[in-house]
Amino acid sequence: MKISVLGCGRWGSFIAWYLANKGYDVYSWGPEDDYSYQVLKTTGKNEYVELDKRIHLTCNLQEAITHAQIIVISISSQGLRGFMQKITKFDVSDKKFVLCMKGIEISTGCRLSEVLVQSGISSDNIAVWVGPGHIQAFTQGIPNCMVIDSANDELKRYLADNFKSELIRFYYGDDLIGTEIGAAAKNVMGIIAGALDGCGYVSLKGPLMSRGAREVSRLIKAMGGNELSAYGLAHLGDYETTLFSEYSHNRMYGEMLVKGNKFEKLAEGVPTSKAMKALGEKYGVDLPLTSAVYDICYGDVTDYKAACMELIPKLMSRLTKTEFYQ
């Protein structure tokens, strides 16, 4: 199997490493002026993995695309549409695309698979690979479970069956809407978890796990998906690695924000909170936790700890409802 992984940052470099260890013919691509690419090129490793000698590192996009039967994309979600404009300059009609990334496009509210369809890729050639797991744990040999979903049942089964190993057990997803929304939304909940850590309200993470999943389930249902997907691997199943782990970028972002420090790495939950808030308004779904993250990240805030400390009582004093209200 010939695979090109586009994006050689944190997840991209791991995916290339993982698939090379599966014995596949792997190309790893990154822009020549990109920091992640330059680190791999000059040192042969990054803070997560060592570049396997079997992996062909390239900054030539045409070379990477021409090589591949399967193209795995792992970049920032908000840059996907522009990136696809570069990819579709080449003939990709016979390529299969796997999105190993989580997010919702802010400007349109589109799921990432929808961005690919709107870019001219057939839905039958698109799959998503999401779920729990941190690279730091995987590279220590600690296993986890993930999910591959697609509108094409044959494609998702083919990928899951061929990508599985003793390190990653894959499940077949059966709700693309729920899988994508759930995966994106868990990053928003990660920011809340970090804020709770920073405020010393760690015990509220239990209610966050329950209420956060329920909030996301309502949105998934309103968008035409299966609300039970919020309780699957893509969302609730990924909570441990997002709400509690020292490696979670989104949890760390929330904690450092409250402490008045700047987190330099990508936290996808920030733009996702904005996209989800818009989707909640579009579909008439109550998203109190998402709205709280949006208010903190996009509001006129100078003292983030004080703002979080004010938001918590507001959330706690909301009108009493039944636990599973719609």
User: What tens digit of pLDDT does each residue of 68-104 get?
Assistant: 999 999 999 999 999 999 999 999 999 999 999 999 9
Active site (annotated) includes residue 164: no
Q: Which of 15-19, 52-56, 260-264 has the highest mean pLDDT?
A: 15-19
pLDDT over 90 (residue 261) = no
Beta bridge partners of 145: 169
The pLDDT-based confidence of 221 (bands split at 50, 70, 90) is very high
The helix-helix angle for 288-298 and 304-316 (nearest 10°) equals 160
| Residue in the block written with tokens 């330099």 | 264
pLDDT over 80 (residue 27) = yes
Which strands, in side-by-side order, build the sheet including 2-6?
56-58, 25-29, 2-6, 70-73, 96-99, 126-130, 144-150, 168-172
Q: What is the pTM of this model?
A: 0.94
Please compute the mean of the pLDDT values over residues 27-53 and round it to a whole number: 93
d(CA 172, CA 127): 11
pLDDT over 80 (residue 263) = no
List b or e across 41-68, with b for residues whose CB sees 16 or more CB atoms inside 10 angstroms: beeeebebbebbeebbbbbebeebbebb
Please compute the mean of the pLDDT values over residues 159-170 and round it to a whole number: 98
pLDDT over 90 (residue 52) = no
**144 phi/psi in degrees, rounded to 5:** -155, 175
User: Cβ–Cβ contacts within 10 Å for residue 104, how many?
Assistant: 28
**Coil/strand/helix, residue 195:** helix
Counting beta carbons within 10 angstroms of the beta carbon of residue 172, is it exposed (0 to 12), middle (13 to 18) or buried (19 or more)? middle
**142 phi/psi in degrees, rounded to 5:** -85, 120
CB 15 within 8 A of CB 99: no
**90: CB partners within 8 A, 6+ apart:** 61, 62, 65, 66
The pLDDT-based confidence of 43 (bands split at 50, 70, 90) is very high
The pLDDT-based confidence of 303 (bands split at 50, 70, 90) is confident
Which residue would you say has higher pLDDT here, 157 or 326? 157
Domains and CATH numbers, the chain: 2-172 (3.40.50.720), 184-316 (1.10.1040.10)
Q: What is the pLDDT of residue 129?
A: 98
Separation in Å, CA 312 to CA 100, 176, 190, 255 = 33, 33, 16, 15
pLDDT over 90 (residue 124) = yes
Pairing of strands 144-150, 126-130: antiparallel
pLDDT over 80 (residue 33) = yes
Q: What is the pLDDT of residue 100?
A: 97
> Which member of 186, 205, 274, 277 is catalytic?
186
Q: What is the pLDDT of residue 241?
A: 86
Counting beta carbons within 10 angstroms of the beta carbon of residue 246, is it exposed (0 to 12), middle (13 to 18) or buried (19 or more)? exposed
Q: What is the pLDDT of residue 186?
A: 96
d(CA 208, CA 222): 21
d(CA 47, CA 252): 17
Q: What is the pLDDT of residue 310?
A: 85
d(CA 187, CA 240): 12
pLDDT over 80 (residue 326) = no
Counting beta carbons within 10 angstroms of the beta carbon of residue 222, is it exposed (0 to 12), middle (13 to 18) or buried (19 or more)? middle
Q: What is the pLDDT of residue 101?
A: 94
